[in-house]
Structure 1
Amino acid sequence: MAESLFIGVDLGTSALKCGLWDTAGTCHGAARVAYTTETHDGRAEQRAGDWWAALCTAVGESCEGAARARIAAIAVGGHAPSPVFVDDALTPVGPVLTWRDSRAAEDVAHVFADLGGRPADGPTRLAAQVAARARWMRREVPEAYARAAVALHSWEYLIARLSGEAPCERGAPSGLPVALGVAERLLAGSGPAAGTIAGTVMPDVAARLGVPAGTAVVAAGLDSYLGAVGSGISAPGDACLTAGSSSVVASLLEPPAEGRFRLAGLPMASVPVGATGTLLRAALALSKDPVALQIARAVELSAPSVDLEALDPVDPGAPARVAELGRRIGPEAALRAVLEAIMTAERRVLAEIGGPLTRLRLVGGQAASPALTRFRAERLPCQIEVPARHDSGALGAAMLAAVALGAVSDHAEAARRMVHPSRAYAPSGKPGASSSANNGSDSSSRIQIDSK
């Protein structure tokens, strides 16, 4: 019997990444499709219809020439909080206020205050962010608010387009007061957990995508979780740094410690570093030279004497300060300062998580630059390993699908079979032993700072 194939979809901040894998970790096809974000005056809006068009295109490109009859499942994850408010026909009532949109910041503060502070658990925190955007919608676009039936997370919307059904129960999650000033109907309840089957692809959609009728649809959840899954971490002391438009550190902990997620039966801490890619992009825009050349020059400079707190990637105003810094000290020195600020933030997050740190898997668009990875290895406290695939979110989704359908027994087996490390860097910054197989680009000239 021919081995099954699994489609993984990672809806990133600025592009959708998709790939087709078998359980040996062989990628049979991959695609990346970008979409537009409308940004000005705090706005960071996307159109959910653009996501769907990107998925259809990417699946078609990823599966071109493959044995489509072997496709068993498609798993979808994405960025959040970026809720899609839909009507009873699952049609969006307006643009999506993505996680980068700051117009609802005051509403977020009000909702957290109503809850007695920032919720500790992830589902309630995400629901509170959705409630804040609903409050903003009710005030700013009341006609759209009146038509909205429910809010879906980004991956839930794509699951609904694939299966024809909203993959969640209506009603506020347990512990979240209805007294948040929004209609209870809008707050999605308990959706399918990451790694569970949420339905099957509708026949007309299957025909459009070119996948078998009845292909399973698997919920893959939050993109930061997917990045960790696809990096292959599986033991206490393993950590993953997903570095794209924004960065997040996920670290597996020894029980009885508690974490935001669970992976391989272990608690997993997940702490955001900030919008490192956005900051890096602002610095690279100061020069017209190729990205690889800019990074190579910057890492050789001495660190300039500047206020790194003003460049902290958690500060939404930091990218706007980069242009002025470039005019004052020059583009290369400004880029060097930004790199130092990013490393300072990453060290801070690793220290905050605490516990023993054995190895750090680096994934996301920034992992495509060997020079930048060496720079990190000189400043972070453990060995850095770069998997062959930098698009670990899409691979992580495919791994979750393989586990959900029983093609592999659990995450640990999926990590052993499907994730292939390519390069290793000791803390000194010198490359360590690496495998000869490399299924992803290592060229910093092709760096894509796009995944959340």
Structure 2
Amino acid sequence: MVDDGADEGAGWLGVDLGTQSVRVLLVTADGTVLGRGSAPLTGRRSGPRHEQDPLRWWAALCEAARTALGSAPPGLPVGGLAVCGTSGTVLLTDGSGRPVSPALMYDDARAKAEATRAREAGLAVQDTWALPKALWLLGQYGGGSLRLTHQPDLIVSRLTGEPPPADSSHALKTGYDVEGDRWPAAALAELGVPDDLFPAVVPPGTRLGEVRPAAADATGIPAGTPVLAGMTDGCAAQIASGALRPGSWNSVLGTTLVLKGAARAPVRDPAGVVYNHRAPDGTWLPGGASSVGAGALAAHFPGADPAAMDARAGAFEPSRVLAYPLVSPGERFPFRAPEAIPLVLGDPAGDADLWAALLQGVGFAERLCLDYLHHLGAPLDGPLTFTGGGARSPYWNQLRADILGRVARVPEQTEPALGMAALAAYGVLGTGALADVTARMVRVRTVVEPRPARTAVFAEPYARLVDALRDRGWLPGPVAAHAHRRLNRDTSPS
């Protein structure tokens, strides 16, 4: 059933369209998880190509939603739902919302030439952003009446029966001007983008419609459930971390590393490495996405037992090897270097030493991200939170806190789907700030204290890695110099 006067006794649904699965979480306003479900996704990877079948997203949602709702108390009101997707994943649809192209995933890298054209037109986009992909898709599938569709838009259209406006969070990487609240019409015209290709845009948390009866039959989500505009998966994870008050930061360590913070004003970055999402309440969510992350562990050690390897890695602090563990070629944050490749400098003593080097390398990249944010003048005086799959490792959490020299909080629930449940509650209830709604939902599991002696031990290898990145021409000299000046400090604003 749906409670038309939805209150804090309702359950809230969050949907996360991930790379490897669709995940659904049913949660109450106080953070109690009533149900969860997931269904796998597969893609096609070959060189720079990374595609998924968008119709599979809907099938996976149906499976995951039914599982999540299957354990809910009988008669529980469902107050609303919101959907997040991987940032920069897009496809083309026809006028009725049917896909006419495969979905180009967030890291599909076939649109480099189109990205160069977009930058020449004055738009600060990166090679794997959605706008270059839109231009590439037009070249491959252009003709007739087409619509550029972000990953969650397709799911929302199936739920409500109408192609929806996009949320400003997903539209950001398609070139949407979140400060001016408009599409850059002149630049898009110069690029040959049809006037009707891009959707209208609304703020996250905006009501988009209701679950129609046919979608309710397929998913188990009650007909009439309000559907709210969502945000990207990185922003969803940030909401789930509770890092929404100015100066707070969330570090999402999954396949790759994403840092998202909160600020009263946008963080300006002439290099375009850091970009700013707009929060539903009008504040700003600056951040960046690195290509470093836990995916490097799977690449080097397929099938390894992470807990067993962590236990052995403690003997190598610091490792004799320096690593900058890119998951794929090219880096986006804390520096932009399309030519960057994974680095492993030195000869490891064995598998445990190499594992330790990869863990430490991610920690060093994370520190360099915070040093770069400090270089830009970003506020860093709030709490730091660890989320993502990497936060399930107690050893890695402690290692990262030691390298950063900062206290870190680890929430009980680290799923982006929780962030979407919170956003749905905020959008429907319409009372209080999003930070207040989230504070009631987020429960901190662990507080990790850094060990000053260990922070000092890691300063020297961190400095050597900074120099190696600079010497290869990837890291700008002023940023490297700034990191050196902060060597004997933690990563707070001092």
TM-score by length of 2: 0.76
Displacement of 1:369? 1.1
Q: Which residue of 2 aligns with 1:89?
A: 96
Q: Which residue of 2 aligns with 1:417?
A: 440
Structure 2 letter corresponding to 1:136: W
Which structure has more relative contact order (CA 8 Å, sep 6+)? It is 1
Q: Which residue of 2 aligns with 1:65?
A: 71
**293-302 or 130-139, which deviates more:** 130-139
**336-345 or 362-371, which deviates more:** 336-345
Unaligned runs of 5+ in 2: 177-181, 269-274, 332-338, 454-494
Cα root mean square deviation, aligned: 3.1
CA distance in 2, matches of 1:325, 1:61: 46
Structure 1 letter corresponding to 2:394: P
Assess if the C-alpha contact under 8 Å between 1:93 and 1:147 holds in 2. Answer: no
CA distance in 2, matches of 1:266, 1:385: 23
Structure 1 letter corresponding to 2:165: C
Q: Which residue of 2 aligns with 1:246?
A: 256
- 197, 200, 212: which one aligns with 1:202: 212
Identity of aligned residues (%): 25
- 295, 300, 305: which one aligns with 1:278: 295
Assess if the C-alpha contact under 8 Å between 2:255 and 2:327 holds in 1. Answer: no
Structure 1's 294 and 147: CA in aligned 2 closer, same or farther, altered over 3 A?
farther
Q: Which residue of 1 aligns with 2:307?
A: 292
What pairs with 1:129-168 in structure 2 (closer than 5 Å)? 129-139=129-139, 141=140, 144-146=141-143, 149-168=146-165
Structure 1's 312 and 42: CA in aligned 2 closer, same or farther, altered over 3 A?
closer
Displacement of 1:378? 0.9
Structure 1's 192 and 338: CA in aligned 2 closer, same or farther, altered over 3 A?
same
1:260-281 alpha-carbon deviations (Å, 9 max, x no partner): 1344654321122324132232
Q: Which residue of 1 aligns with 2:50?
A: 44
Displacement of 1:168? 2.1
CA distance in 2, matches of 1:429, 1:419: 28
Alignment partner of 1:146: what SS? coil
Alignment partner of 2:229: what SS? strand
**81-90 or 311-320, which deviates more:** 311-320
Structure 2 letter corresponding to 1:156: D
Q: Which residue of 1 aligns with 2:105?
A: 98
Structure 1's 31 and 300: CA in aligned 2 closer, same or farther, altered over 3 A?
farther
What pairs with 1:294-443 in structure 2 (closer than 5 Å)? 294-309=309-324, 311-312=325-326, 315-316=329-330, 330-354=350-374, 355-391=379-415, 393-406=416-429, 409-428=432-451
Structure 1's 314 and 290: CA in aligned 2 closer, same or farther, altered over 3 A?
closer
How many corresponding residue pairs? 415
Structure 1 letter corresponding to 2:361: A
Structure 1 letter corresponding to 2:289: P
Q: Which residue of 2 aligns with 1:260?
A: 276
1:27 matches 2:33: yes
- 226, 234, 238: which one aligns with 2:236: 226
Alignment partner of 1:74: what SS? strand
- 181, 184, 192: which one aligns with 1:175: 184
**184-193 or 163-172, which deviates more:** 163-172
Alignment partner of 2:405: what SS? coil
Structure 1's 338 and 187: CA in aligned 2 closer, same or farther, altered over 3 A?
farther
Q: Which residue of 1 aligns with 2:474?
A: none
CA distance in 2, matches of 1:338, 1:187: 43
Q: Which residue of 2 aligns with 1:437?
A: none
**395-404 or 7-16, which deviates more:** 7-16
CA distance in 2, matches of 1:352, 1:319: 18
Alignment partner of 2:202: what SS? coil
Structure 1's 196 and 94: CA in aligned 2 closer, same or farther, altered over 3 A?
same
CA distance in 2, matches of 1:407, 1:256: 25
Assess if the C-alpha contact under 8 Å between 2:329 and 2:341 holds in 1. Answer: no
CA distance in 1, matches of 2:448, 2:395: 11
Q: Which residue of 2 aligns with 1:269?
A: 286
Displacement of 1:410? 2.4
Structure 1 letter corresponding to 2:89: S
Structure 1's 183 and 118: CA in aligned 2 closer, same or farther, altered over 3 A?
closer
Alignment partner of 2:118: what SS? helix
CA distance in 2, matches of 1:30, 1:252: 28
Alignment partner of 1:358: what SS? coil
Alignment partner of 1:221: what SS? coil
Assess if the C-alpha contact under 8 Å between 1:7 and 1:73 holds in 2. Answer: yes
Assess if the C-alpha contact under 8 Å between 2:405 and 2:452 holds in 1. Answer: no
CA distance in 1, matches of 2:253, 2:11: 27
1:362-393 alpha-carbon deviations (Å, 9 max, x no partner): 111111111111111111132110000021x1
Alignment partner of 2:88: what SS? coil
Assess if the C-alpha contact under 8 Å between 2:257 and 2:293 holds in 1. Answer: yes
Structure 1's 411 and 337: CA in aligned 2 closer, same or farther, altered over 3 A?
same
Displacement of 1:256? 7.9
TM-score by length of 1: 0.83
CA distance in 2, matches of 1:387, 1:227: 11
Unaligned runs of 5+ in 1: 120-124, 431-452
Assess if the C-alpha contact under 8 Å between 2:238 and 2:244 holds in 1. Answer: no
Assess if the C-alpha contact under 8 Å between 1:384 and 1:426 holds in 2. Answer: yes
Structure 1's 217 and 68: CA in aligned 2 closer, same or farther, altered over 3 A?
farther
Structure 1 letter corresponding to 2:360: E
